[in-house]
Amino acid sequence: MESNLSLFYGLSFLTAAIAFLFALYLYLWVKKVKVQNKRIEEVSKLIKEGADTFIRREYRILAAFGGVVSIIILLFLPSPIWTGNVMMNIAMALSYIAGTVLSAIAGKIGIIVATLSNGRTAEAAEKGLKPAFLIGFRGGAVMGLLVVGCSLLGVAAVLMITGDTTILLGFSFGASSLALFAKAGGGIFTKTADVAADLTGKVELGIPEDDPRNPAVIADNVGDNVGDVAGMGADLFDSNVAAASSALVIAATLSGNGLDTISMVFCYSLLGLIASVIGIATAKVGKNGNPTHALNSSTYVTTAVFMVLTAIATAVFPGFSWRIWGASATGLLVGVIIGITTDYFTDDTKPIVQKVAHASASGPAFTILSGVSYGFVSALPAMIGIAVSALVAYNLCAPLGDGFAIFGIAMAAVGMLSIVGMIISNDAYGPIVDNARGLAEMGGLGEETIRIADELDSAGNTVKAVTKGFSIGAAGLTVISLLGAFMSEVNAALAERGEALITGFDIMQPTVFFGVLIGAAVPAVFSAMLILGVDRNAQRMVSEIHRQFNSIKGLREGTASPEYGKCIDIATTGALKELIPAGLFAILMTLVVGFVAGVEAIGGFLLGNIVSGLLLALFMSNAGGLWDNSKKYVEAGNEGGKGSNAHKAAVIGDTVGDPFKDTAGPSINTQITVVSLVSSLAAAAFVAFSIF
C-alpha cells in the first residue's frame, strides 16, 4: 500500500507554522494594547521580573540535570555505546535535548505573553467584560498554540529525520523530564506563596486577597505564572508528545491490513491543532455574556470540528480506518464526559460544594473530612470513564489485526488530547485573569473593575476543573498505551537476544504482583514529598511575613511598602531546593525495581503506578477544587459569609487543597508518564542486566 506519510510530514510542518503565525498575530494584538496606569505597569513589571528570575534559575538547574541525563543517554541508550551504533546514541541524546529545549521554550514564551497580558486585562476590565476577556483569552491562546505547534513539529521532525520510534521516546522523555521538574518547581513556588499569603493576609490580618500591604502578594502573582502557565504548559506539552509518541511506537510495529497508521497519527494530531485554531478564533463573550460559557462553548466547537475533520480525512485517505476514527472519537467524548462529571463535584451551583460549605459551619475538621470524602467519590466516574473508553477503543480496533487493539487505546488518548491547544488556552487564561484581578486591586481600579475581574477569574476556576479532568483522563489512556509501548520494547530486546517473547504481564506471577504493590506506593510518596515541600516552604514564608509586619513601621497602615523581593526569594530558593528529590525518587524506584526484579516486575510496577496515580491525581485535583469553590461560595455570603466560623474553616480547607490541586495532583500525571518512558527506554537494559 502506498503511504501518504511524506504528505503528512509536510502538512504537520505547515500546520505548526500556521499555529506559530496565528500565535504571533495574537501576541502582537495583545501587545499593541496600551498600558496607562503607572501603578499597574510598575507592579506588572515586578511580577515579570520575579517570574523571569525564577525561570532563569530553574532552567539553570534543569540544564545541569538535563546535561547529566544526556551524557547517560549518550553512553547507554538505546544500547551501550560500545556495543551498538554510535550514531543512534547521538541521535537519542540529541532528541532528548530537543524535547527539553522545546518544552522550555514553550514555557518561557508562555510567561512572556502572560506577564504582558495581565496588566492589559486589568485595564481593559475598566471598559467592560468583553475586551478584558478577549485579552486574557488571547494571551492564554498564544501559549496553547505554541505548545501544540512545538509538539507536532518536534515529533514529526524527530521521526522524519531518524525514522526510529525508540528515538522518539527519547524526545518524549526529554519533554517529560523537563515537565516533571518544571511542574514540581512551579507548583511548589506558586502554592508556597498562595498559602502563605492567604494564611497571613486573610486569616490572621483580615485584609483582602491581593492587598498590596501583604509582602507575599507579588510572589503569589509570580507563582500563578511560573506554576500555572509555565508548569502547566510543560505538563501538557509532555502529555501531547507522549500520546503521539506511544501511538507511533505501536504503529511502527503494526503491519498488514493495508492501513496507514503512522500517517493517521500525524493527520489526527494536525487536525486537532487546526480545530483548536478555529475554536480559539471563534471564542468571544457576547453582550452581557458569561465568560464560562464562552470558554466552554469554544471547547465544544473545537471538539465538533475535530470530529468532523477527522471523519472527512478518514473518508478521503486510503489506509485510514473508521474503527480507529471511532477509537479516537470515543476518547474525546469520554474526555468531555469526565470533564462534566468532574465539574459536578467542584461547581458551586451544584450540591457537593454547598454541602462542604455547610459542613464548614461545624468546624474545619468537617470541612476536611467532607472534602476528602467527596474527593474520593469523585474519582469513581472518571476511573469508570477511562476504563470504559479503553475497553471500547480496544474492542473497536481489535478486529483490525494483531496489536491494533492497543493502538486503538493510544488513538483514544490522541483523540482526547486532540483539543489540547484549546485546553491550554483555557488553562493559561486562568492565571492571566487571576493576575489581572490582583493588579486591579493593587492599581486601585475601583470596585466595578474588580468585580469584572472577579467574574473573569471565577470562570477560569470553573473551566479548570473540566480541563483537569481531560488531562488526567488523557494521561490515563496515554500511559495504558505506553504500557503497550513498553512491551514492544521488551520484546524487541528479547528478540535480539533470541529469547522467548512475552505476551503480557500476569498478575498471578509474584514478580508482577511485587511490582504492582511498589508501583502503587510511588505516586503517594511522590505527592507527599511535593506537599511537604510546600508545607516547609510556606512556613518559612509565613515567618518572613510576620517579621515584616513586626519590624516595618507603617506597613499595617499602608504607609510603608513591604519588601516583596524577600518573599519572592524564599519561594524561589525553596522551590528550587525541593524540585529535584521527588522526581528523582520516582525515576530511581523504577530503575531499582527494573534492575532487581526485571521486566515482569516493571510491567506490574507501571500498572500499580498508573492506577494509584490516577486515583490520587483525581482525588487531589477534585478535592482541591471543591475546597476552593466552597470557600468562594461562603465568601459570596452563604453559611454566614466572610468572617464567619464557616469562612475560617473554609479557608483552612482551601489552604489544604491548594497544594493538592496545584502542586501534587497535576504533577502525578507527569510522574506516571516519566516512569513509563524511563521503563520503555531502559527496557533493553532491564532485560540484559536484571538480577532476578
- Contacts of a second copy in 408-427 (CB under 8 A): 409
Stretch 599-638: interaction string toward a second copy, x if CB under 8 A: ----xx--xx--xx-xx---x-------------------
Closer to a second copy at the Cβ: 306 or 404?
A: 404
The grid coordinates listed for 647 are 469562612
Residue among 394, 407, 470, 564 that touches a second copy (CB under 8 A):
394
Question: Is residue 532 a contact point for a second copy (CB under 8 A)?
Answer: yes
Question: Is residue 656 a contact point for a second copy (CB under 8 A)?
Answer: yes
Question: Is residue 538 a contact point for a second copy (CB under 8 A)?
Answer: yes
* Contact of 269 with 245, CB cutoff 8 Å: no
Distance between CA atoms of residues 624 and 682, nearest Å: 35
User: What single-letter amino acid sits at 601?
Assistant: A
Give the position of cell 518572613: 544
Minimum distance between the CB of residue 331 and a second copy, rounded to whole angstroms?
14
Residue among 79, 321, 426, 527 that touches a second copy (CB under 8 A):
527
Question: Is residue 535 a contact point for a second copy (CB under 8 A)?
Answer: yes
* Contact of 215 with 545, CB cutoff 8 Å: yes
* Contact of 149 with 72, CB cutoff 8 Å: no
Residue among 28, 86, 308, 388 that touches a second copy (CB under 8 A):
388
Minimum distance between the CB of residue 649 and a second copy, rounded to whole angstroms?
9
Q: Which of 353, 419, 393 is nearest to 635 (CA)?
A: 353
Closer to a second copy at the Cβ: 177 or 200?
A: 200
Question: Is residue 364 a contact point for a second copy (CB under 8 A)?
Answer: yes
Closer to a second copy at the Cβ: 212 or 665?
A: 665
Question: Is residue 402 a contact point for a second copy (CB under 8 A)?
Answer: no
First to last CA, the chain: 44
Give the position of cell 497602615: 557
Question: Is residue 505 a contact point for a second copy (CB under 8 A)?
Answer: yes
| SS3 at position 68 | helix
Residue among 145, 264, 307, 386 that touches a second copy (CB under 8 A):
386
Question: Is residue 492 a contact point for a second copy (CB under 8 A)?
Answer: no
Closer to a second copy at the Cβ: 415 or 603?
A: 603
Closer to a second copy at the Cβ: 282 or 395?
A: 395
Number of residues written out for the chain? 692
Sequence-separated (6 or more) residues with CB below 8 Å from residue 672? 475, 479, 523, 609, 610, 613, 614
Minimum distance between the CB of residue 643 and a second copy, rounded to whole angstroms?
17
* Contact of 685 with 76, CB cutoff 8 Å: yes
Question: Is residue 199 a contact point for a second copy (CB under 8 A)?
Answer: yes
The grid coordinates listed for 131 are 475586551
Q: Which of 226, 262, 232 is nearest to 247 (CA)?
A: 262
Applying CB under 8 A, which part among 40-48, 83-91, 104-112, 368-376 lies near a second copy?
368-376
Question: Is residue 652 a contact point for a second copy (CB under 8 A)?
Answer: yes
Distance between CA atoms of residues 55 and 193, nearest Å: 16
Closer to a second copy at the Cβ: 269 or 389?
A: 389
Question: Is residue 370 a contact point for a second copy (CB under 8 A)?
Answer: yes
CB atoms within 10 A of CB 105: 14
* Contact of 566 with 217, CB cutoff 8 Å: no
Closer to a second copy at the Cβ: 62 or 249?
A: 249
Sequence-separated (6 or more) residues with CB below 8 Å from residue 103? 150, 174, 175, 178, 179, 182, 234, 237, 238
Minimum distance between the CB of residue 552 and a second copy, rounded to whole angstroms?
21
- Contacts of a second copy in 217-246 (CB under 8 A): none
Applying CB under 8 A, which part among 23-31, 281-289, 447-455, 526-534 lies near a second copy?
526-534
Closer to a second copy at the Cβ: 356 or 445?
A: 356
Closer to a second copy at the Cβ: 11 or 582?
A: 582
Question: Is residue 344 a contact point for a second copy (CB under 8 A)?
Answer: no
126-to-79, 120, 208, 615 alpha-carbon distances in Å: 61, 10, 20, 43
